[in-house]
Amino acid sequence: MDDIDDFTEETDAFDAATARLTVDLAALCDNWADMAERSGSARAGAVVKADAYGLGIEDCGGALYAAGARDFFVATPDEGASLRPYAPDARIYVLSGIWPGTEATFFGNDLVPVIASEEQLAFFMALSAELGDYPCAIQVDTGFNRLGLSVDEAMMLADDASRPSSFSPVLVMSHLACGDDPANPMNRKQLESFRAVSAAFEGVESSLSSSAGVFHGPDFHFDLTRPGIALYGGEAVSGVANPMRPVATAEARILTIRHAKAGETVSYGAAHTLTRDSRLAVVAAGYADGYLRAGSGAGVPLRTTGIPGQMAFVAGHHVPLLGRITMDMSIFDVTDVPETAVRAGDYVELFGSNIALDDVARAAGTIGYEVLTSLGLRHERRYLF
């Protein structure tokens, strides 16, 4: 038993993992610095909701704080509480706002609620009248039709002389509906609406742009920008080369390499028929790991559109996925990789520096945001500084 214990201690969990994820925190911080520079005179915040887009709010948040970020955005108060020890004097905004029963989490962790509705506004004003001055942000809906006071409601609030003196918002914000499409006239329409609201809240900082809006230039920057997907290496603007460094690398182990004959079929539904004698690498990555089934090489509706399925990278070669992605495994064609260059136990890259995150997303008919936030719990993680 002692020998077994010694062996276990010496085994590196990352090297032993069937699925693993490398997060390059230096690249993350470089991307934030890039977005800060693009934000011009505006401060650059950092959106770390959804566990920092699936990459780990503690490690990513701490690295971004060390890089200079002092304004963070999370989705829920629990996320804010998780972040607080790693960003000790930062301002942490909670995008879902405040509801009865969450007050202790907000006040105990110095979190700033983003007031997103008339109901939340009434509740927060009552709290302010009872407990005194506490910062908040005001979300304004300028055309998204999701969260926020209407423009008219926001203007009335700005002019409301009867509101409690303890009610003192520190930020007014909105969100672009079509920010990833610079030519869409909706962007300018929202900008003009938000300018009016921003002017009405004189002396209060303003924020309109997430990652995509930062690329639209100074008109959209205001006082504070909110980069998210760009920090994690994803595309922010459609049809434009992505200038960000890749941050996440997902890999999975080859469980076996099998030989199959031309005419045989591969995976569920016999969806792919081999046209040549082939070598097939069975890889430990499936939809339970966030490797979306819609990206299968065959046998799913998206393949009828002409969009190709997923690729992986191994031994210097891009290799196609064959048939359907299953819960725990996928099958790649390594016939064109020299037999001596790849073997069972090796790892294939699913996305990273050789397979772009957003190419993986396109193969599955989705966006990089979903690919990252769908990562399963089975990836052993390593953080590089």
Q: What interhelical angle do 25-38 and 57-67 show, nearest 10?
A: 50
Indicate whether 216 and 256 sit together in one domain.
no
Q: What is the pLDDT of residue 63?
A: 98
For residue 24, tell me if it sits in a domain.
no
Residues of the chain with pLDDT under 50: 1, 7
Q: What percent of the chain has pLDDT over 90?
A: 92
Active site residue 268: yes
Q: CA-CA distances (angstroms) from residue 290 to 296, 306, 356?
A: 13, 23, 16
Q: What is the pLDDT of residue 131?
A: 81
Indicate whether 123 and 272 sit together in one domain.
no
Which member of 86, 93, 134, 268 is catalytic? 268
Buried b (16+ CB within 10 A) or exposed e, 167-203: bebebbbbbbbbbbebeeeebeebbebbeebbebbee
Indicate whether 119 and 145 sit together in one domain.
yes
Q: CA-CA distances (angstroms) from residue 31 to 69, 179, 245, 333?
A: 12, 19, 6, 34
Q: What is the pLDDT of residue 107?
A: 95
Confidence (pTM): 0.95
Cα–Cα distance for residue pair 378/20, rounded to 1 Å:
8
For residue 161, tell me if it sits in a domain.
yes
Indicate whether 193 and 222 sit together in one domain.
yes
What is the DSSP secondary-structure string of 278-322? EEEEEES--GGGT--GGG-SSSSGGGGGT----EEEETTEEEEEE
Of 186, 202, 232, the one marking the end of a domain is: 232
Which member of 49, 134, 287, 369 is catalytic? 49
Number of structural domains in the chain: 2
For residue 15, tell me if it sits in a domain.
no
- Please report which residue ranges of 140-297 form alpha helices under DSSP H: 151-158, 185-200, 211-214
Of 191, 206, 232, the one marking the end of a domain is: 232
Of 168, 197, 232, the one marking the end of a domain is: 232
Q: What is the pLDDT of residue 5?
A: 55
Indicate whether 60 and 197 sit together in one domain.
yes
Indicate whether 57 and 196 sit together in one domain.
yes
For residue 181, tell me if it sits in a domain.
yes
Q: What is the pLDDT of residue 10?
A: 54
For residue 142, tell me if it sits in a domain.
yes
Assign residue 44 the CATH number of its domain: 3.20.20.10
Indicate whether 260 and 202 sit together in one domain.
no
For residues 28 and 53, the answer to whether their CB atoms sit within 8 Å is no
Indicate whether 312 and 174 sit together in one domain.
no
For residue 19, tell me if it sits in a domain.
no
* φ, ψ dihedrals at 205, nearest 5°: -65, 155
For residue 238, tell me if it sits in a domain.
no
Count the helix, strand and coil residues of the chain and give each as a percent rounded to the nearest 5: 35, 25, 40
For residue 167, tell me if it sits in a domain.
yes
Q: What percent of the chain has pLDDT over 70?
A: 97
Indicate whether 129 and 198 sit together in one domain.
yes
Cα–Cα distance for residue pair 339/124, rounded to 1 Å:
65
Indicate whether 192 and 263 sit together in one domain.
no
For residues 132 and 166, the answer to whether their CB atoms sit within 8 Å is yes
Q: Domain residues for 52? A: 39-232
CA atoms within 13 A on the CB side of 222: 29
Cα–Cα distance for residue pair 305/380, rounded to 1 Å:
35
Q: Give the three-state DSSP class for 55.
A: coil
Active site residue 287: no
Indicate whether 293 and 186 sit together in one domain.
no
